[in-house]
Amino acid sequence: MTERNWAGNLEYGAARVARPASVDELAEVVAAAAHDGTRVRALGSRHSFNRIADTEGVLVETAGLPARVELDPDARTVRVSAGIRYGELAEAIDREGWALANLASLPHISVGGAVATGTHGSGDGLGSLATAVAALSLVTADGSMRTLRRGDADFDGAVVALGALGVVTSLELDVLPTYDVAQRVFERLPLDAVLADLDAVTGLATSTSLFTTWRDPDVIDQLWLKQRTDASSITPFRPDASSIRRSPPFETPGRAKIDGSTLAQAAASGITPAAPALLEEMGVRAATVKRHPLPDVSAEHCTDQLGVPGRWFDRLPHFKLGFTPSNGDELQSEFLVPRAHAADAIEAVRALAPRIAPLLQVCEIRTVAADALWLSSSYGTPAVGVHFTWLPDAPAVEALLPALQAALAPFDARPHWGKLFDVASAVADGRMSRVYPRLADFAALRDRLDPNRVFGNDLLERLGL
């Protein structure tokens, strides 16, 4: 049987797929492969769009490892098996009164794979999913187990590790008391108003997402606001003045003149229920029915909107767990830039709108807080991600990527490790070392834990890893 990824755009090249039912069995698979000089890669929910998880050797599925959800209320952590999906984990810990700080747009992805590739949700004050990791355990190249905890010398290099250090079997994640979230959607934001004070717009709620198809390069089609309903969550982002870009007043047909300070006034009230009303007063339409991020697509499987509060795991993702989303109908790319460069980077993308729009389903702009994880796309800086959900036309998308990456290169864009990007463009002129200043440290850590490259593959080698 042919093994493919979630989207169906890749056929894995592995000689075989192992499905160990225990950690001991996994350790035996790894040790035997290492003895034979065979490479091993871990496989989670198969949600990567490039060959980051592929190998010509043995693919090891983590979904069959014993399911584990072990809460420690005193430590405020939960220990979970790497193959568990976020949606399943969320439901389990919520029943006990606990929650995670953030989730990605899809709850269907595995914890181990999402952490290893630096996958994220959105929120000015919220880090990537990997920032919740307090400890992880992995099977290393000789089949032995190793556990790393926050504060250990190698920890920051081992969390977002691209599967290059071993097969992660379990993780301990930070938890917090459960909470509710209300979600609202607003439509047709003038892009110039957004770029005039991007910090104000993204600060309107706990989590924000801006969607555009780039068919009209002057408009953000939808703004999704996900707001925690508890008062303790009101912690507006306060950027350094150097990161704020403001534009002169401008006019759009049928609207009053707006300048950058108007949006700043909206955010200055804090991320409160008043923020959507202020957007509405600016002439931005509040959606009166549920919306899907893609135009003219049923919102049946989207999480509930219209300001109705619901549990955190029923609002932070864009899609419901019970729905199997668009399997095989899309490709994805994402590039994350330091927040200080975000407005200029979005302008660079807008300049390519005539080339992007014919290949695009939707583009989503999200924010991620800074962290200290060496290979994280928000290492050392708050970041803004520009995400592209493409039509399933791989040759055309791959032909466009070099131009897109060239346009974003001046802004130190970091590609999402698990999505489509042009590798030659990513490594040109030493860019990898420039945008990932701890890259050499990670390579040294990998050399210590896997000197024979048991967990290597062709893509990692092309990236200099």
Handedness of CA 274, 279, 281, 286 (dihedral sign): negative
Residue 118 φ then ψ, to 5°:
75, 30
How far apart (Å, rounded) are the C-alpha atoms in residues 126 and 164?
26
How far apart (Å, rounded) are the C-alpha atoms in residues 159 and 116?
6
pLDDT at 106: 84
**Ramachandran bin of 215, using left for φ above 0, alpha for ψ from -120 to 50, beta for the remaining angles:** alpha
CA 284, chain centre distance (Å): 27
Average pLDDT per block of 10 residues along the chain, 465 residues long: 84 94 96 95 92 95 93 97 95 97 90 96 96 98 96 97 97 97 93 90 94 97 94 47 34 34 36 56 81 91 94 94 70 97 98 98 97 97 98 97 98 96 94 94 96 96 91
pLDDT at 246: 33
pLDDT at 258: 35
For residue 78, give every residue at least 6 positions away whose Cβ sits within 8 Å of its Cβ, in sequence order, or none. Answer: 69, 70, 71, 72, 89, 93, 98, 172, 173, 175
Q: What is the DSSP letter of 291?
A: -
Q: What is the DSSP letter of 454?
A: T
pLDDT at 193: 86
pLDDT at 232: 54
pLDDT at 278: 54
Handedness of CA 270, 274, 280, 282 (dihedral sign): negative
Which H or E element spans position 93? Answer: helix 86-95
pLDDT at 286: 87
Q: Residue written as tokens 């949700």?
A: 121
